[in-house]
Amino acid sequence: MRRTPDTGDTAGEAVIEPSLSKALVMLKPYLAEFPGRLALALGLLFIAKIAGVWLPQLMKQLVDGLTPKEGLVLVVPAALLLAYGAFRFLNVLLGELRDLVFGKVAERAQRRAALRVFEHLHRLDLEFHLSRRTGALSRDIERGVDGISFLLRFLTFNIVPTLFEIALVAAILWKQYDGRFAAIAALSVVIYVGFSVWVTEWRTKFVRAANTMDSKANTRAIDSLLNYETVKYFGNERWEADRYDDSMAAWEKATSQNRMSLSALNTGQALIVAGSITAMMWLAASQVTLGEMTVGGFVAVNAYMIQLFVPLNFLGFVYREIRRALTDMQKMFGLIDQPPKIRDQPDAATLTIPRGVASAEIRFDDVRFAYSAARPILRGVSFTIAPGRKLAVVGASGAGKSTLARLLFRFYDPDGGAITINGTDLRAMTQDSLRRMIGVVPQDTVLFNDSIEYNIAYGRPGASRADVERAAKLAHLDGFIARLPQGYDTQVGERGLKVSGGEKQRIAIARALLKDPPILILDEATSSLDSAAEAAILDALHAATERRTTLVIAHRLSTITDADTILVLDQGLAVEQGSHAELLALGGSYARLWNLQLREGITATAT
């Protein structure tokens, strides 16, 4: 089934009006890092321009020197020929030196800006990342970095130098020839620039539409490929291809309009250039026939006009690309302007808890939270996890179990109440110190597209191979790794798709054990394991949690019978709390869940 292509996520975004002054303010800190290189590059540039502007003068003298004169023997003006060649070479050499000198400035600016955005994206809250498409986000950063390079090079080495060159040529024409030559040159430049800017402004909407559709097509392709297995499960290859083709069809249409408008721009520019050069040559030829100008002067005037319009010929392209670069830069830097909803207070404390010491007390005090006002998740939940103790949370899907872990890790702040560690509110401590104290084994483990060793060592970057192997052994992963031809160097693939769900969870457990945190969160840590593997992992987790304050989120009640306290959540409320034996004796919600799972287990065994 074909669908009318929509405009994608970017359609609803506000159009960013580019501002050169704002862009320069953004780039100032990066350019200030190499002031000497910047000054040297500009110096080389202006010397090269002066040498280039002087070339037509040498050409004039050469032509006049080679013109036969009555009663004189024609000789080759060797000095002029050598000077012309030297100036040609100097012009190119200075340009190359300029690029070498300025290259480091531009590349460092790109590096610093990209790093700043990358770091800021990691500071933004989870809600921001859940609501953004990774493909479009990646494209914004890529285009922004390219925009910095383009703006620095073309603004510095094209626009400003071209204005300087126009001024020099106009001055030479005014001083050495008739003022009408300078007037024609100036008027031609004004008409050319005005036309180029006007048409380019008109074309901007086509360029923006093409970029929007390009981002959407890229996002859809990445999203589809990341969900390759899901596409296959439901046989939706044709559906995905149609969705992608819809975006590409819209991109094709926008690009076609862009191309036609570019043709109109180029045709108009060519007409202006041809008319201007014809007018200049007509005037110069008239003066040659009247004896008021030499043939060399005619050649020099023609050279100056060509020299003027060669850089101006790119003005439409440069102006359009600078506008696009400004837009892309501001879109990228706009990510930096996006304020994180979870911030450290100015006086936030750095909380540390010694490793190996059971001294972390966690307290939830009347915690209320909702992802949206219409859907409250937690409605006044209170509990305490004593130092070194284990508290398990059970309940129906959507009861708010995983939300407790997200709040403890401070992906979100509660709407009401408080969460404290050793009496200190999470909001009063730095996020970095909080998260260094907590190890997490998530229900849905996503691995980096790297080796098994890298993914385990991610729990403590810089850990030795012996430490990695020890953590793998504790997670009962060593036997699996030993059977692999490449062992710890085995690549796990995109999002860990080359290993099974159970193996991914074991890697996540090994990673958390390697981190060796005083607080541990187990969010359905054994949900992807079979019964035999689960029994082995439970022994490892039991040993790992003995000296840690642990929050366990569980679905299978058989995995948390050893918990010191079990909290039963129901529609955002803590309805029961106690040990396994106490809750069974109570005969309430927990007992019903236990009996239900017990019957399911017996049925599964019989089957």
Give the per-residue pLDDT at 16.
46
Q: Assess whether pLDDT exceeds 70 at residue 233.
A: yes
Residue 282 and residue 207: Cα distance in Å, rounded? 39
Q: What is the mean pLDDT of the chain?
A: 78
Angle between helices 179-226 and 237-289 (to 10 degrees): 170
- 529-565 pLDDT, tens digit per residue, is 666 666 666 776 776 677 789 999 888 888 888 889 9
Residue 188 and residue 196: Cα distance in Å, rounded? 12
Instruction: Give residues with Cβ within 8 angstroms of 329, minimum separation 6.
Output: 23, 26, 144, 147, 148, 151
Residue 175 and residue 297: Cα distance in Å, rounded? 13
Query: Both tokens of residue 197?
Result: 């800017």
Residue 192 and residue 190: Cα distance in Å, rounded? 5
- 64-111 pLDDT, tens digit per residue, is 666 655 544 444 556 666 776 776 777 778 777 877 777 777 777 777
Give the per-residue pLDDT at 407.
92
Give the per-residue pLDDT at 568.
92
- Greater pLDDT, 381 or 114: 381
Give the per-residue pLDDT at 529.
63
Q: Assess whether pLDDT exceeds 70 at residue 454.
A: yes
Of these ranges, 160-169, 233-242, 338-347, 423-432, the one predicted with the greatest mean pLDDT is 423-432
Tell me what the mean pLDDT of segment 505-525 comes to.
85
Tell me what the mean pLDDT of segment 5-21 comes to.
44
Q: Assess whether pLDDT exceeds 60 at residue 353.
A: yes
Give the per-residue pLDDT at 393.
93
Spatial CA neighbour of 37 closest among 99, 113, 116: 99
Tell me what the mean pLDDT of segment 226-251 comes to.
82
Query: Both tokens of residue 431?
Result: 């996020």
Percent of the chain at pLDDT exceeding 70: 81
Q: Residue 558 gets which letter from DSSP?
A: G
Residue 563 and residue 479: Cα distance in Å, rounded? 28
Q: Assess whether pLDDT exceeds 90 at residue 566.
A: yes
Give the per-residue pLDDT at 13.
42
Spatial CA neighbour of 351 closest among 431, 411, 460: 431
Give the per-residue pLDDT at 347.
84
Give the per-residue pLDDT at 369.
92
Provide the CA 157 distance to its chain's centre, in angstroms.
27
pTM over 0.75: no
Q: Is the dihedral of CA 131, 134, 137, 139 positive or negative?
A: negative
Residue 10: which pLDDT band, with cuts at 50, 70 and 90? very low
Least confident piece of the model among 64-78, 191-205, 281-295, 352-366? 64-78
Give the per-residue pLDDT at 80.
63
Tell me what the mean pLDDT of segment 215-232 comes to.
79
Instruction: Give residues with Cβ within 8 angstroms of 368, minimum separation 6.
Output: 376, 378, 379, 380, 381, 414, 415, 416, 417
Least confident piece of the model among 17-21, 186-190, 330-334, 437-441? 17-21
Residue 49: which pLDDT band, with cuts at 50, 70 and 90? confident
Q: Assess whether pLDDT exceeds 60 at residue 14.
A: no
Residue 144: which pLDDT band, with cuts at 50, 70 and 90? confident
Residue 384: which pLDDT band, with cuts at 50, 70 and 90? very high
Q: Assess whether pLDDT exceeds 80 at residue 514.
A: yes
β-bridge pairing 416-421 and 424-425:
antiparallel
Residue 357: which pLDDT band, with cuts at 50, 70 and 90? low
Instruction: Give residues with Cβ within 8 angstroms of 434, minimum separation 6.
Output: 351, 409, 410, 421, 426
Q: Assess whether pLDDT exceeds 70 at residue 135.
A: no
Least confident piece of the model among 146-160, 396-410, 585-599? 146-160
Residue 4: which pLDDT band, with cuts at 50, 70 and 90? very low
Give the per-residue pLDDT at 98.
75
- 294-334 pLDDT, tens digit per residue, is 787 778 777 777 777 777 766 656 776 777 777 777 777 77
Provide the CA 394 distance to its chain's centre, in angstroms.
38
Give the per-residue pLDDT at 345.
82
Percent of the chain at pLDDT exceeding 90: 8
Is 380 in a helix, a strand, or coil? strand
Tell me what the mean pLDDT of segment 175-181 comes to.
76
Instruction: Give me the domains of the chain, ranges plus CATH numbers.
Output: 20-337 (1.20.1560.10), 347-437+518-607 (3.40.50.300), 445-516 (3.40.50.300)
Per-position DSSP letters for 271-312, written without gaps between them: HHHHHHHHHHHHHHHHHHHTTSS-HHHHHHHHHHHHHHHHHH
If one counts every other C-beta atom within 10 angstroms of the C-beta of residue 170, the result is: 18
How many residues are recorded in the chain?
Answer: 607
Per-position DSSP letters for 170-232, written without gaps between them: HHHHHHHS-HHHHHHHHHHHHHHHHHHHHHHHHHHHHHHHHHHHHHHHHHHHHHHHHTHHHHH
Query: Both tokens of residue 287?
Result: 């003066």
Tell me what the mean pLDDT of segment 207-218 comes to.
79
Q: Assess whether pLDDT exceeds 60 at residue 261.
A: yes
Tell me what the mean pLDDT of segment 6-12 comes to.
37
Of these ranges, 124-128, 233-237, 270-274, 577-581, the one predicted with the greatest mean pLDDT is 577-581
Give the per-residue pLDDT at 577.
92
CB of 420 within 8 A of CB of 408? no
Least confident piece of the model among 14-23, 207-216, 274-283, 558-567? 14-23
Tell me what the mean pLDDT of segment 466-490 comes to.
87
Neighbouring-strand partners of residue 568: 394, 576
Give the per-residue pLDDT at 61.
67
Give the per-residue pLDDT at 195.
87
